[in-house]
Amino acid sequence: MVEQLTVELGERSYPIVFFGGADAGVFVLEKIRQTGRSVTALADSKVWDLHFPKNDDLLCLKIEGGEASKSITCFDNACEFLATNRIARDGGLIAIGGGVVGDLAGFVAASYLRGIDFYQVPTTLLAMVDSSVGGKTGINIKAGKNLVGAFWQPQVVYICTEFLKTLPPEEFSAGMAEVIKYGMLYDAKLFDQLEALEHDLTWDHPELSAVVRRCCEIKAEIVKADEKETASSGGRALLNLGHTFAHAIENVAGYGTYLHGEAVAIGLVLAAKLSVRLVEAGRSGFAVSDEDVIRCHALIERYRLPTDLRISLHRVAGDLAAPKLSIEALLDAMRRDKKVRSGKLRFVAMEKIGNAVTVDDIPEGWIRDIWSEAGAE
């Protein structure tokens, strides 16, 4: 099975190739080599060892998974690796791994020799449905997450759910947070479909491929309309539903305390609560009910994701408290967020399930309340 979807971006358009079957690693290397490019890889070391042939002579820099690898140091090392191996402007770089590897490798590809070709081979659910598509690349600096990077579109994204076979369950769940996000912000039918599944999605669930593909379609549509997130309202920023909260959580708790998808799960619940406050305040267009919040909450919990700051079912024992986060520190981190414009905090809220908008004028008191209800102090 090989199917294809095009991300339409004029001269920067590219295909997402969906393929199936075992030996995904062998298949993808063969495909990329058919382009005739001299290629090099940055790969998640675990994925590389599990899925790629030992005897392949592809030049590959192995990267440890985890946010710590999205650093200036790893960026520097990767550029030195390409340079000492004499990769020229007509060479290409393959990212093999999750969001961390894709974001890092994308920024390396954008910057090395002022830009070389780039191929995405996402091997986590989160990277397949979100970070590998759309061209956002970047690294973290001390002051915050993804604060340094580039828009750099790949030449091709290769997606095979076979890679998910070896993904740890908490990583699969983390990806589900982004899947649920697409339902909440853009596609009520997808949300309904996820709710109606008799069995939870797993790497070998018969509907997984279609769900992944639908998420990619949504992302492609949104990115096509607003590639560089310059729309004055709505647009690509909608993909950040829950993320203003999530980035603050990750920043204050310390990267790695929560998985990105776990922080997004919490952020989605908080964004739903924020949406209800907009209804209560009589804002026109907003029609989210308490019932809708419960539905979001339930779907997120179903994948053992946290819904407030206190509990992360996969990662701590049920009765173990998460680190106490300070409301002031969280607000401070939000003010440093990239989405801040002219000093105003910007949020994404749901008018209803399947329809989100950007909102610039949320009273700070609401945000304090929401953080407090979530367990911050």
Only segment of 125-133, 143-151, 304-312, 358-366 that touches a copy of itself (CB under 8 A): 143-151
3-state secondary structure 289-348: CHHHHHHHHHHHHHCCCCCCCCCCCCCCCCCCCCCCCCHHHHHHHHHCCCCCECCECCEE
Q: Encoding tokens for residue 337?
A: 């967020």
Q: What is the distance in angstroms between the CA of the first residue and the CA of the last residue of the chain?
A: 51
Catalytic annotation present for 247: yes
Smallest separation (angstroms) from a copy of itself to the CB of 167: 28
Q: Is 124 annotated as a binding residue?
A: yes
Q: Which two tokens stand for residue 143?
A: 């002051």
Burial of 106 (0-12, 13-18, 19+ CB in 10 A): buried
205 is catalytic: no
Question: Rounded CA gap, 319 and 131, in Å?
Answer: 32
Closest alpha carbon to 177 in 212, 126, 215, 132: 126
Toward a copy of itself, which CB reaches closer, 25 or 134?
134
Is 80 marked active-site? no
State how far the Cα of 165 lies from the Cα of 376, in Å rounded to an integer. 36
Residue 55 annotated in active site: no
State yes or no: 103 annotated in a binding site: yes
Residue 347, beta-bridge partner list = 359
3-class DSSP state of 265: helix
Helix axes 188-196, 208-225, angle to 10 degrees: 160
Query: What is the pattern of x (binds a copy of itself, CB under 8 A) and - over residues 237-256?
Result: --------------------
Q: Which stretch binds a copy of itself (CB under 8 A): 145-153, 265-273, 280-288, 304-312?
A: 145-153
* Cα dihedral value 212, 215, 216, 221, nearest 10: 160
Is there binding between residue 175 and a copy of itself (CB under 8 A)?
no
Cα(166)–Cα(143) distance, rounded to whole angstroms? 33
Does the annotation place 347 within a ligand binding site?
Answer: no
Q: Which of residues 313-372 bind a copy of itself (CB under 8 A)?
A: 335-336, 338, 340-343
Catalytic residue (one of 67, 162, 171, 229): 229
Distance of closest approach, residue 132 Cβ to a copy of itself, in angstroms: 17
Considering the complex, state which of residue 324 and residue 344 has its C-beta at the smaller distance from a copy of itself.
344
Query: If residue 25 lies in a helix (H) or strand (E), which one and from where to where?
Result: helix 24-33
Is residue 335 among the annotated active site residues?
Answer: no
- The number of residues that bind a copy of itself (CB under 8 A) is 38
Decide whether 53 or 254 has the Cβ nearer to a copy of itself.
254
Asked if 112 interacts with a copy of itself (CB under 8 A), we say: yes
Minimum distance between the CB of residue 87 and a copy of itself, rounded to whole angstroms?
Answer: 10
Scan residues 69-98 and list those touching a copy of itself (CB under 8 A): 72, 75-76, 79-80, 83-84, 86, 88-90
Stretch that binds a copy of itself, among 11-19, 137-145, 270-278, 303-311 (CB under 8 A): 137-145
Coil, strand or helix: which one is 60?
strand
- Interface positions, 193-232, toward a copy of itself (CB under 8 A): 228
Rounded Cα–Cα distance for residues 110 and 94 (Å) = 12
Is 297 among the catalytic positions? no
SS3 261: helix
CB of 205 to a copy of itself, least distance (A): 35
Q: How crowded is residue 1: how many other Cβ atoms within 10 Å of its Cβ?
A: 8
Q: Which residues are annotated as a binding site for NAD(+)?
A: 99-103, 123-124, 136, 145, 163-166
- Catalog residues that contact a copy of itself under the rule CB under 8 A: 72, 75-76, 79-80, 83-84, 86, 88-90, 107, 110-115, 136-138, 141-144, 147-151, 228, 335-336, 338, 340-343
Q: Known catalytic residues?
A: 114, 136, 178, 219, 229, 236, 240, 243, 247, 260
Q: Which residues are annotated as a binding site?
A: 99-103, 123-124, 136, 145, 163-166, 178, 243, 260
